[in-house]
Amino acid sequence: MLAMFARFSALPSTDVADTRQETVRMNALGLFGPQSEGWRLNREATLLLGAGPRALLMQIAHPLVAEGVAQHSNFRDDPWRRLRATLRSYLTIIYGTTAEARAEIGRLNQFHRHVTGPIRDPDAARTFGASYAARDPVLSLWVHATLIDATLVAHERWIGRLTADRRAAFYRESRPIGRAFGVPDQLLPADVAAFDAYIEAMIGPDGPIKVGATARELAGAILRPPLGPLHPILARIPASLYAWTLWPAIDLLPARIRTGYGLPWGRRERAVAAWLSAGFRAWRPLLPASFRTMPWALSADARLAGR
């Protein structure tokens, strides 16, 4: 340490100033930066309406993730809190400074060390054993993968198809984040084609993703969320009056997962979902960019512009 300090202090003052400026600049860029697909694809605030519920439903479709959520959160009573926390963490890692992103990764890793417990669902226990741990690299990979997958699916269905190069770049940028969450390199899919194959294998008939009773119970809080936590007056509104607004998100789910949750998906649900999705695509170009851009992205833009 003293030797490093001596070398640094021996530099000419102009070199020291340049080094400091470069350090500040790199910190401001964050882990991704404005030229990344991560910054481009996560800007759309309206994508949250589809990508958010889809990612949560895909996550808890893994029986062990469902166990962890059920046992270590008040998700049933206040799903908004978990959604806000997930969104805040994810977008801090994408758009925060390098220091902020690394601090958030460290905070999440520390928190998840304590997310352990017995597997209470008998079917899950027969398959996976007696206990679970959120820091299991296999579970970390699945949660990480659902966020990537949800962003890609929602963007391609609601905004436009992505070129093969853009999909490949978006996934490639995500791999260091997976490693930071404890997923070893040999477990991470090597490229986007391997990632797509991984998702298919996980949700396939022989894969570990089986929607269980715990997941179905939690799904009610996602698809018919109580409004009371947002404001006491809203608690009086019956869920039946607004649940249909989440049908476009259900439409984004793989058919096998949707069936596993036992969600009705007849002509009415498909028609309403298509109508809402079409309305979103029509209105999106007419909305000001500042209105439909995530606050984290706007903050990052302002940071790099020196505001």
Tens-place pLDDT, residues 119-167: 999 999 999 999 999 999 999 999 999 999 999 999 999 999 999 999 9
Classify each residue of 269-281 as buried b or exposed e, where b means 16 or more C-beta atoms within 10 Å of its C-beta.
beeebeebbeebe
Question: Residue 223's domain spans which residues?
Answer: 35-300
Q: Is residue 7 part of a domain?
A: no
Q: Is residue 15 part of a domain?
A: no
- 241-285 pLDDT per residue, tens: 889 999 999 999 999 999 999 999 999 999 999 999 998 888 888
Per-residue pLDDT at 2: 42
Q: pTM (2 decimals)?
A: 0.89
Is 70 exceeded by the pLDDT of residue 9? no
Q: Is residue 182 part of a domain?
A: yes
- 179-211 pLDDT per residue, tens: 999 999 999 999 999 999 999 999 999 999 999
Total count of residues recorded for the chain: 307
Q: How far apart are CA 66 and CA 120, in angstroms?
A: 11
Q: Is residue 129 part of a domain?
A: yes
Of 226 and 200, more confident: 200
Per-residue pLDDT at 211: 97
From residue 17, alpha-carbon distances to 2, 4, 249, 289 in Å are: 20, 16, 50, 37
DSSP state of 254: -
| Helix 137-158 with 48-60: angle, nearest 10 deg | 150
Domain count within the chain: 1
Per-residue pLDDT at 133: 96
Q: Quick one: tokens of 18?
A: 């340049």
Contact 175, 38 (CB under 8 A): no
- 61-95 pLDDT per residue, tens: 999 999 999 999 887 777 878 788 888 999 999 99
Q: Is residue 14 part of a domain?
A: no
